[in-house]
Amino acid sequence: MKRKLTSAKKVGGTLSVPGDKSIAHRAALLSILASEPVVAVNYPDNLDCRASLEAARKFGVVIERNRNTVTFTPPSQLELPADIIIDCGNSATTARLLAGLVAGSNLSVILAGDESLSTRPMKRIIDPLREMGAEVFDQDGHLPLKIEGKKLLPFEYRLPVASAQVKSSLILAALASKCSLTLIEDIITRDHTEIMLAHFGEGLSIREIKPMMIPDPHDPRKKRMSVPEDFKKEIKLASHSVVRGGTVDIPGDISTAAFFMSAAAISGGTLTIENLGLNPTRTSVVEHLKNIGCRVEIRDKNILSGEPRGTVTVTGGPLKARKISGDTTAGLIDEIPIVAIMAAFAEGTTIIRDANELKVKECDRLEATAANLRKMGVKCGLLEDGLAIEGGEERNGADFESFGDHRIAMAFSVAALFLDGPSTIDDDSTVAVSCPEFYNLLETFIQ
């Protein structure tokens, strides 16, 4: 549905955002393999997480919901009709993680999705699953996938792309098949799966590679910094690993909060978000806000269910341009559309590189972001792997396209708050993929 977007006079206040989508997916899907119930507190009610919830139900998990708490009672054994079709909707996380789980089971399952999900790349999971011994039949590297589960081989794999979904898919495959697994990461990605496994089960070990001081071989009186390995993280899963169950308290989703914090950043106002997830693999957006000129205060820090959280207050100010590349881009990958919006209101030219991953999301987010920025009157260059955005003060309202992508719709709805003249978004329903409450939350702290 087309929505009219109006300018804001003032931004500020306090709010809470729905539970973290990434953690919720994993609670639902790991419950399929659990031996005891999994209770997820603050489980979000968005379309993506519903896809994982309904998939778990298809696998025999009994699901009870009491407001925002969901109890998943696992089946005594996995039994499904041959070639049953599981609809993953628009959720790539559901599809990729389930592909691993099925590959390591004794089931035959067809994973399908909507038109958008059916264009997303699946080869990144298909190839390693086949190397483990799985039978996967694909449509030129896309959904639908037919997976014939079987006993998999012990496996060691160095991730060629920074992807928490690939990592988690292989972990679920090994768990389902009870085979050993070693994963090597050159770029550290979201570790919600590892945290939840440590919280719920046993058999997982992690080694993070950190620089250390060693004697200088040329002068034993001195020391020098050395990195003992050429990778950053090693994850090992023993063949006897198990998922028991328990309670997971899900913090607020920082990727959703990024849109609201960015509104404060652009306006110069102050916004506080309570119970916000502060997993170090997800806080690049907080560091980015500091780097471009915002004041960020974090208090009430604590850890529940292995996941750090706290209260974050962002106060905006004059924003400045920043070059974004490498590990920083990887850490900001979900937030790049709203980072681009902040760049449009910053002084100077922001360069974003190493963002090819955005070309294969719900839409090509680089092209979509560039097209909408130009409608605002922003000079935006589309690079081979990113964007070049020239900031400025005079920005005009426009009729924005969502391109069927929730993060594009949310980003340009925030932009519209600070534009001269009215704006519209062509389809506001896309936000339901990650945050159906988005526009209601937006109205709570703008005037």
Residues noted as catalytic: 334
Distance of CA 401 to the CA centre of its chain: 22
Burial 250-267, CB ≥16 within 10 A → b, else e? bbbbbbbbbbbbbbbbbb
Cβ-proximal residues to 388 (8 Å cutoff; 6+ apart), any chain = 349, 350, 351, 352, 380, 381
Structure token digits, residue 126: 């298909």
Query: Parallel, antiparallel, or unpaired for β 155-158 and 270-277?
Result: unpaired
Write phi, then psi, for 236 (nearest 5 degrees): -120, 135
158 secondary structure, DSSP code: E
Q: Within 13 A of 240's CA, how many CA atoms are on the CB side?
A: 1
Contact criterion met (CB below 8 Å) for 94 and 51? yes
Reported as type and span, the H/E element at residue 147 is strand 145-148
Q: How many whole angstroms separate alpha carbon 56 and alpha carbon 355?
A: 32
Nearest to 282 by CA among 338, 329, 332, 241: 332
CA distances for 51 relative to 30, 55, 61, 193, 434, angstroms: 14, 6, 14, 18, 11
CB 412 within 8 A of CB 368: no
Q: Which two tokens stand for residue 367?
A: 């092209």
Least Cα distance to 55 among 21, 18, 30, 36 occurs for 30
H helices within 268-364, ranges in order? 284-291, 326-331, 336-344
Cα separation of 394 and 419, whole Å?
A: 8
Return d(Cα 374, Cα 395) in angstroms, integer: 10
